[in-house]
């Protein structure tokens, strides 16, 4: 397919994304990292549990360990021992109970725990006020995790709770895919570094900061380059240097069709574009291809377009390059509180915020100014609502909602 012909129609994202993902190189190298710094990293191997969790049957309550079969409301049971968490009791004498605390191992012979609220203590012992079933208030050994169980498959992106699960089976280190090295290129003669005075005709370089933060959230190693002038040779030389060091290159700006846009031509000369111009709004001038054999993503310069194309295309691509099992964001169908006469030929991604109506039902509110230059629309929003092409939307209709928690 020739993506570069000028008259080519815009590519729908549903076509572009699978094509992009299929063309990506995979990094399979792994490294061992301490659990403390493993969150967000991609597991490099399957992980099997080496022990049962909990390792032994233990009490789920503060109370009394008993033999359930001995229960009788009439009896007063002497308290033969006291077992706190971290201690090991003796076998339970028949006809007695053991004082026990949450997490303490159940003594041999006991099969249930009566919570302390259900006994009447006296100087001779305790009277049990309610009938007792075997296993009541007991956490069985291996109830959470069994020895040999497959905990996680390779390719899983580790959540904070996964780190806890790995720790619960005693691991302190874990094999994860190595970080991707991503070169971040920012183009535009108008750009000024925040923290320095703004000259006439200049704006602050905000995309660099957004994209750096997005890449950091993906645990990428970001290779910064200087701001690239709007010049063909300068663009080519920075791209070539970036390709030497990085696994992937992300650029912003200069990818449209103006005389000052040199990224497309420079990439063409160093490898070539596979994709250019998508049927999405914002984000039409997104480009992807290869620069000296390395994966290249060219994002538009408008801050909202840069963000949207990153989260919809670059993020899945970078996750996929690391063999991540879950590449696509989760979404929900949510009713909207606004109407659209008829959307255009491009699929739209609206900046929306989740609200609650008087009955406690969720609905989506749209930021007034959906222009691709209005960066604050992204900070107002909780996510993106997807409006398919040529679609009329009425208040109460449901749209696909992609929460930012799934995108950044």
Site residues for ligand AMP per CB under 6 A: 186, 188, 190-191, 203, 205-208, 252-256, 300-303
Please provide the DSSP assignment of 105-151 as one string. BPPTT--EEEEGGGEEE-SS-EEE-S---TTTTEEPTTSSB-TT-EE
- Smallest distance, Å, CB 190 to ligand AMP? 5
Burial 113-135 (b: 16+ CB within 10 A, else e): bbeeebbeeeeebbbbeeebeee
- Smallest distance, Å, CB 281 to Mg ion? 19
Contact flag: residue 253 with Mg ion (CB under 5 A): yes
Q: From 66-74, 140-148, 299-307, 320-328, give the range in contact with Mg ion by CB under 5 A.
A: 299-307
Length of the chain: 408
Closest CA to 250 of 259, 237, 263: 263
- What whole-number distance in Å separates Cα of residue 378 and Cα of residue 191? 21
**144 vs 190, beta carbon nearer Mg ion:** 190
Indicate the SS3 state at residue 21: helix
Q: Measured on CA atoms in the order 406, 294, 37, 165, is the torsion positive or negative?
A: positive
- Smallest distance, Å, CB 274 to ligand AMP? 20
Residue pair 79/98 in contact by the 8 Å Cβ criterion: yes
- Smallest distance, Å, CB 345 to ligand AMP? 21
**61 vs 191, beta carbon nearer Mg ion:** 191
Closest CA to 354 of 342, 370, 367, 341: 367
- What whole-number distance in Å separates Cα of residue 128 and Cα of residue 114? 8
**Which of 188, 283, 300, 303 is in the footprint of Mg ion by CB under 5 A?**
188
**252 vs 288, beta carbon nearer ligand AMP:** 252
Q: From 78-86, 247-255, 321-329, 356-364, give the range in contact with Mg ion by CB under 5 A.
A: 247-255
- Smallest distance, Å, CB 24 to ligand AMP? 24
The site partner of 282 among ligand AMP, Mg ion, none (C-beta below 5 to 8 Å per kind) is: none
- What whole-number distance in Å separates Cα of residue 253 and Cα of residue 230? 9
- Smallest distance, Å, CB 191 to Mg ion? 8
- What whole-number distance in Å separates Cα of residue 389 and Cα of residue 279? 9
329 CB neighbour count, 10 Å cutoff: 18
**44 vs 253, beta carbon nearer Mg ion:** 253
Q: Which residues contact 51 (CB under 8 A, 6 or more apart)?
A: 145, 147, 169, 170
The site partner of 190 among Mg ion, ligand AMP, none (C-beta below 5 to 8 Å per kind) is: ligand AMP
- What whole-number distance in Å separates Cα of residue 332 and Cα of residue 391? 19
- Smallest distance, Å, CB 231 to Mg ion? 11
Q: How many residues bind Mg ion (CB under 5 A)?
A: 4
- What whole-number distance in Å separates Cα of residue 43 and Cα of residue 158? 7
* Interface characters, 258-297, with Mg ion (x: CB under 5 A): ----------------------------------------
Q: From 183-191, 193-201, 305-313, 326-334, give the range in contact with Mg ion by CB under 5 A.
A: 183-191
- Smallest distance, Å, CB 375 to ligand AMP? 8
Q: From 4-12, 187-195, 354-362, 400-408, give the range in contact with Mg ion by CB under 5 A.
A: 187-195
Contact flag: residue 298 with Mg ion (CB under 5 A): no
The site partner of 263 among ligand AMP, Mg ion, none (C-beta below 5 to 8 Å per kind) is: none
**167 vs 257, beta carbon nearer ligand AMP:** 257
Peptide bond into 54 cis (omega under 30): yes
- Quote the radius of gyration of the chain (alpha carbons, Å): 30
Which residue number is nearest to ligand AMP in terms of Cβ? 301
Q: From 232-240, 251-259, 282-290, 321-329, give the range in contact with Mg ion by CB under 5 A.
A: 251-259
**259 vs 359, beta carbon nearer ligand AMP:** 259
Contact flag: residue 63 with Mg ion (CB under 5 A): no
**30 vs 189, beta carbon nearer Mg ion:** 189
């Amino acid at each position: 397919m020739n993506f570069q012909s000028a008259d080519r129609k815009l590519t729908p994202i549903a076509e572009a994304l699978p094509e992009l993902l299929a063309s990506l190189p995979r990094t399979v190298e792994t490294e061992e990292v301490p659990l403390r710094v493993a969150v967000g990293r991609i597991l490099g191997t399957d992980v099997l549990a080496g022990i049962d969790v909990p390792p032994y049957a233990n009490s789920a309550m503060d109370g009394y360990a008993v033999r359930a079969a001995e229960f009788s409301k009439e009896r007063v049971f002497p308290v033969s021992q006291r077992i706190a968490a971290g201690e090991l009791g003796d076998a339970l004498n028949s006809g007695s109970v053991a004082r026990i605390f949450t997490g303490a191992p159940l003594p041999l012979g006991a099969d249930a725990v009566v919570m302390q609220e259900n006994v009447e203590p006296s100087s001779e012992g305790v009277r049990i006020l309610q009938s007792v079933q075997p296993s009541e208030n007991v956490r069985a050994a291996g109830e959470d995790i069994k020895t040999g169980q497959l905990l996680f498959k390779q390719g899983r992106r580790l959540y904070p709770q996964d780190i806890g699960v790995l720790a619960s089976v005693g691991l302190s280190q874990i094999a994860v895919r190595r970080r991707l090295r991503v070169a971040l290129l920012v183009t535009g003669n108008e750009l000024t570094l925040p923290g320095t005075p703004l000259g006439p005709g200049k704006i602050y370089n905000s995309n660099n900061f957004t994209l750096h933060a997005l890449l950091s959230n993906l645990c990428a190693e970001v290779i910064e380059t200087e701001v690239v002038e709007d010049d063909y040779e300068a663009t080519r030389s920075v791209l070539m240097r970036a390709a030497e060091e990085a696994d992937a290159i992300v650029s912003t700006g200069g990818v449209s069709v103006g005389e000052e846009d040199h990224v497309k031509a420079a990439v063409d000369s160093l490898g070539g574009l596979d994709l250019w111009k998508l049927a999405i709004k914002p984000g039409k001038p997104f480009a992807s291809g290869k620069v000296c054999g390395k994966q290249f993503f060219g994002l538009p310069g408008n801050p909202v377009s840069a963000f949207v194309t990153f989260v919809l295309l670059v993020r899945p691509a970078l996750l996929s390059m690391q063999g991540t099992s879950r590449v696509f964001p989760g979404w929900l169908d949510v009713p909207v509180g606004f109407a659209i006469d008829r959307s255009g030929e491009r699929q739209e991604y609206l900046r929306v915020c989740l609200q609650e109506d008087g009955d406690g039902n969720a609905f989506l509110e749209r930021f007034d100014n959906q222009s691709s230059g209005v960066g604050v629309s992204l900070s107002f929003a909780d996510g993106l609502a997807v409006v398919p092409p040529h679609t009329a939307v009425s208040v109460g209709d449901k749209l696909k909602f992609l929460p930012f928690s799934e995108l950044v």
